[in-house]
Amino acid sequence: MKSAYIFKLFFAVIAGVFVGQRINADYARWHTLGRDAFLKAQGYRFDRYMAHPASGAIHVFGAALLLVLIVALYEVAAFLGARCVSLIVDSVRQY
Q: Would you state the pLDDT for residue 29? A: 96
Q: Against a cut of 0.95, is the pTM above it?
A: no
Residues 25-68: tens digit of each pLDDT: 999 999 999 999 999 999 999 999 888 888 889 999 999 999 99
* 3-state SS string for 2-65: HHHHHHHHHHHHHHHHHHHHHHHHHHHHHHHHCHHHHHHHHHHHHHHHHCCCCCHHHHHHHHHH
